[in-house]
Amino acid sequence: MFSNIATTYNQTDASLEIIIMLTITFILWITLWIFLQRINSKRDFTYKREKTTNKDDLKIIEGIWTKIEKLLNKSEIYTFEDLIGYDKKDLRRLLKNNLKKYKECNYMTWYEQAKLALEERWGELKEYQNILNNK
């Protein structure tokens, strides 16, 4: 008679342990799901950046090629005016951190070139670029 009670008690105890384990697993999965949803919502928010439609062809400036233009665009420099307003120290840091051969970029001349391009003084820009190329 007592062995029957002991067997019943062990089966009930084991069932209770299984229910507790399943409940804990369920709570952990829900917690993980909520955490991942929060991460994804933050990620989506950061990528929803409005891009400007008014872009200048920055490659007109001597020394800016496609790779550098993409780098400038990532730093929200899309126009000649943006480039003129960008701090020279920040530009140096941006180029130094992202380009192996940044010293070959004569970025200090970009400001004057951008100013000429912004003012649509194309003849003077071409002359200035010829002087830069002959150095």
| pTM exceeding the 0.75 threshold for the entire prediction | no
Helix (H, G, I), strand (E, B) or coil at 90: helix
28 vs 48: CA distance, rounded Å: 31
Answer whether residue 117 shows pLDDT above 70: yes
Residue 120 region, left (φ>0) first, then alpha (ψ -120 to 50), else beta?
Answer: left
In this prediction, residue 23 carries a pLDDT of: 94
pLDDT digits (tens, 9 = 90+) for 19-47: 999 999 999 999 988 888 777 655 444 43
| Two structure tokens written together for 2 | 């007592």
CA 74 to CA 57: how far, in whole Å?
15
Amino acid 107 reads Y
